[in-house]
């Protein structure tokens, strides 16, 4: 599905910034930070526009946010778009990249009485295969 179609489907206006973000995120096999997305984007947008575009896309669950420790906010296409189950994220301590582990569904937890579960986030930290090779 193309970026333009996704936006139409969610009744969002097709602006070049939004389309650009979706395209970049969609074509990447790992989660990207705001700066990484900006670098790969043709247009030169204001930071405010960027934030507002991210906010809109996250609110409509087109992309999702992943946070690693502090100061590392990354984005990836949401499950509603990829049509995959809720998956775990992997953060490589060496190359500092985040990958969506599509093949690893999030395990569910049994909460104490009275609690209700809406969403579960799993971040596995370690060393990825390609960094491991180089050791």
Partner DNA sequence: ACACATTTTGCAACATTGTTGCAAATGAAA
Partner DNA sequence: TTTCATTTGCAACAATGTTGCAAAATGTGT
Window contacting a second copy (CB under 8 A); options: 2-10, 18-26, 40-48, 110-118: 110-118
Q: Report the chain's C-alpha Rg in angstroms.
A: 16
Task: Quote the CA–CA distance of 15 and 81 in Å, as a whole number.
Answer: 19
Burial (CB count <10 Å: 0-12, 13-18, 19+), residue 41: middle
The residue among 2 and 132 lying less far from DNA, judged by its C-beta, is 2
Nearest to 74 by CA among 82, 87, 64: 64
The residue among 13 and 107 lying less far from DNA, judged by its C-beta, is 13
Q: Is 14 in the site for DNA (CB under 7 A)?
A: yes
Task: Quote the CA–CA distance of 42 and 2 in Å, as a whole number.
Answer: 17
**One character per residue 50-89, x = contact with DNA (rule: CB under 7 A):** -xxx-xx-------------xx-x----------------
- Which positions lie near a second copy, rule CB under 8 A? 65, 67, 69-70, 73, 88, 90, 93, 101, 103-104, 107, 109-130, 132-133
């Amino acid at each position: 599905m193309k970026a333009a179609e996704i936006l139409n489907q969610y009744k969002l206006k097709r602006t070049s910034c939004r389309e650009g973000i979706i395209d970049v995120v969609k074509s990447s096999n790992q989660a990207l930070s705001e700066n990484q997305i900006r670098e790969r984007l043709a247009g030169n947008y204001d930071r405010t526009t960027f934030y507002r575009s991210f906010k809109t896309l996250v609110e409509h669950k087109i992309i999702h946010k992943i946070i690693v420790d502090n100061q590392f906010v990354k984005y990836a296409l949401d499950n509603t778009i990829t049509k995959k189950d809720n998956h775990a994220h992997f953060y490589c301590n060496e190359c500092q990249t985040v990958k969506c582990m599509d093949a690893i569904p999030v395990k569910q937890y049994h909460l104490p009485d009275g609690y209700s579960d809406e969403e579960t986030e799993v971040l596995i930290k370690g060393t990825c295969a390609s960094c491991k090779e180089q050791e």
